Structures are given as C-alpha cells and as structure tokens.
Amino acid sequence: MYLDAEWVPSDPADGAVLTQRADALAKEAQSALGTAAEALRNAETALRTAETTAHDMTAVHRNLQAAARKLEAPTAASAYAGTAEAALQAAETAIRTYGEASDRLSEADDAVNGAVAEFREAAAQPRFGKLQAPVYAQLASIDKAALIARADQWAVQLADRAASLISDLESSERHRNLVLEQLKHHTNEALGLLEKAERLSRLPEGAGVWTGRRILKIGFARPDAQILLARIVESLDENARTQPNLPGRDLVLRCVTAAVPRDFKVEILKPDAAGRAEYASISEMGSVFSGGQELTGAIMLYCTLAALRSSTRTGARNGSRLGGMLILDNPIGKASADYLLSLQINMAAALGVQLIYTTGNMEDRVLATFPLCIRLRNDADQRSGNGLLHVIDRVVGETDEDGVTGRLTAARLLVKPRENDSEVAADDSMPLREDAASGDERTVSPL
C-alpha cells in the first residue's frame, strides 16, 4: 500500500500528528458511512414503496383505461395528487358507479327497445289497416331514432287524442246501453206477444168439443233477465261487426232469435169431425191437413193475428176486440163441413173478426149455418163498363133478443171519380172481385 506524499511522515513526531489526523478522518468517514447507509436504507424503503405504489397505480390505471374505453372517453388526465390507496379506493368507487350506471343504461335501452317494439306492433295491427290518417303512415314507417326524438311531442298529442277518444267511447257506451235497454224491451215485448197470441187463440165457449182448446201452441223457454241481456249484447255486437246498417226491425227479430237459441216450436190445431186434440206444425199444414182443414186453420190463424194486432193498438184504451173484417172468396168450396164452418164462426166471433163469405153455393144445409145471407146479382154497366153488384134477395136467420140479425160496425165511402180523372187510387174504394159473368148470382154471407 502506498501513501500519498502528504501522508508520509518526515520524523516520528510528524508521524504521530499524521496518525491523529488519520484517526480523525477515519472517524469522520465512519460517520459519513453510517449516514450513507441510513440514506441507502431509506432509499431502498422508498423504492419498495414506490414500486408497490407503481404496481397499485398500474392496476388502477388499467381499470380506468378499461372503463374509459367502454365510455369512449379520452384517456389523458391530470396526475392524481393523493395516495395510491386513496386512488385505488376512488377508482373502485368510480368503477362501481360506472357499472351501476351501465346496468341502468342497459335496462333503459331494453325498456326503450321494448317500448318501440310494442309501439310498432300496436301500430301494425290489422284493425288499423283501413286508417287513411297521415299520422298512421308516420307511426308505421318511422325509424327508432326519429321515434325517440319525437316521443315527447307525440306523447302529448296522442294523450290529448286519447282523452278525446275516451270521451267519445264513453258517450258511445251510454248510447249503446240505451240501445240495449230498448232492444231488451222490444224483445220482451215480442216474446210477450207470442205468449199473448197463444192465449188469444183459445176457443171460446160454444165451440163444442174444442171449447177451451188453443188454436196455437207456441213453445219456447223465456230466459231470465240476465241471460236475456247477455244474449242481446252478443247479438248486437255481432251485427255491429257484420251488418252495421241493419234496420231496427230486423235487429229486434235477430235479438228475439238469439234470446231463444233452441228455437220456437209452433203448432196449430188440426180440426176433425171426431174432435180430437191433434196438433201439427205450421209447415206440415199442406201435407197433413185436408183442404177444408187447412183453410179453416188459416182462417183461425188469421183471426188470432188480427185480434193480436188489434189488442196492441186499441186494447190499452178499451176492452173491446175489433179484429176487422175478412172477405173470403168462396171458402165453402173447400170447407163446407158443419164442424169446420162452426169453428170458423166461433173463433171469429170470439176475437171480434167479421167474416164475409162469398159463394155461389145455394145449398140450404150450408146457408142455414149463417144468420144472414144476401143474394147479389153481378151486372155490367154498358156505358161505363163497370161491374155492379145488386141485392136481389135476403135470407134472414134467427134474430137475437133485440130482434137484430146483425150490426154495422164499419162503413167505407166510395167516391166516384170525375170524368177527366185518368186514374183512381186503389185505396179510394173497396175493390169488388168480378169472378162471374154478367148476370151471375153470388151470395155474400156476413156475420
């Protein structure tokens, strides 16, 4: 080991001085070494802390970078002034908040997509296909972005329109309920008329073996009020869909049919000489009844319907039955049996219908059935060419207690047209049937 020149002693005394000086320098060096070692340890600790912080910050940075990429936000940012632990906690909070917001955004997107799909599905329903309104074309063809952009504006407009439509629907519902009540009333009235027709068809006292029997049997099951209303509702709704312009009378008839889904069973009494209580359906009259029975059944059916019509018009004002008048063109040609004529006369008298028989039959047995017979002659006016009936004889039967054989209940005025009139209305006179040649005799037998 070689010493520098300054450290080479010249004598022992100089060596002692240099030794002391070297000892002092050695102590100073030892102290500096300790300080350096301490500084090294501190530096190593700081390095390890920095490395740990760098590692943690690297993880935070990666997480933040991933979140930033999802958000498509710029990655440049200012340095974080806090500790790594605080940065990590702040990053975790930010990432958690971002995740929750992302979930809510996804739910909102799903809700928007669902609402758009539901909106388009509603707008594309076939029942709206006939709409010609411009707004319908816009609703059906608009894209998602434009729909979202105009959603607020359309929501307000459609809400106002919906309120107006709801008001119209409520008004329509009130009118519908009124129509239902009217239909229910008329349906019940119609069913009541059928029941009344059956009651009116009962043969009166004096009809012999048929006394008290009904000419008509109308079978049906009248539903209770709730079932009747439900059936009328179904019929009304069905006809509103298929035939919205159906006349009111036809609609009532359909409601009556719907009220009795098992149909009506209508039968009529078959008169016979033995007085048996046999009934047949109306459609079977032509095949089951003889000619005289069919004619008698038709006359009794007419009397029943005439009395029913009369009861609906005048029955509320008085108790009299005025079924009107029925002129028959030679019915005795088919129905000359005494029991058939008796049935016809009794039924007509009970229901207030005046039967007038016209016939050329002069058989005493037949004429004796009627209380009044008037013989008429059919003449022709040579100037005008009109057919005229002249009374040539009266055959009067038995009179009642007051000595009256008949009573005039109605009259009709025949106005002869002026010569310059070209037409005569059919309702101005009662037409006379000219079935016989001039000079032929016919008998009119009124009751």
- 138-187 tens-digit pLDDT: 777 777 888 888 888 888 888 898 899 999 999 999 999 999 999 999 99
Q: What is the pTM of this model?
A: 0.54
Q: 150 or 228: whose pLDDT is higher?
A: 228
Among the ranges given (216-225, 284-293, 313-322), the one the predictor scored with the smallest mean pLDDT: 313-322
> What is the overall mean pLDDT for the chain?
78
Question: For the sheet containing 278-281, what is the strand order?
Answer: 216-219, 265-270, 278-281
Segment 17-24 shows an average pLDDT of 83
Q: pLDDT grade, residue 427 (50/70/90)?
A: very low
Segment 379-394 shows an average pLDDT of 69
Burial 106-118 (b: 16+ CB within 10 A, else e): eeeeeeeeeebee
Q: pLDDT grade, residue 2 (50/70/90)?
A: low
pLDDT per position as a tens digit, 41-79: 888 888 888 777 777 777 767 766 776 666 655 555 566
User: Letter for the amino acid at 89?
Assistant: Q
Segment 366-388 shows an average pLDDT of 75
Distance CA 106, CA 26 (A): 74
pLDDT per position as a tens digit, 81-122: 777 677 777 777 877 887 888 888 888 888 888 888 887 787
Nearest to 64 by CA among 100, 84, 88: 88
Distance CA 439, CA 389 (A): 9
Asked if the model's pLDDT at residue 359 lies above 80, the reply is: yes
Please name the residues in contact with 91: beta carbons below 8 A apart, sequence gap of 6 or more: 60, 63, 64
Retrieve residue 266's tokens.
Answer: 């209508």
In percent, the amount of the chain with pLDDT more than 90 equals 14
Most confident of 48-62, 273-287, 387-401: 273-287
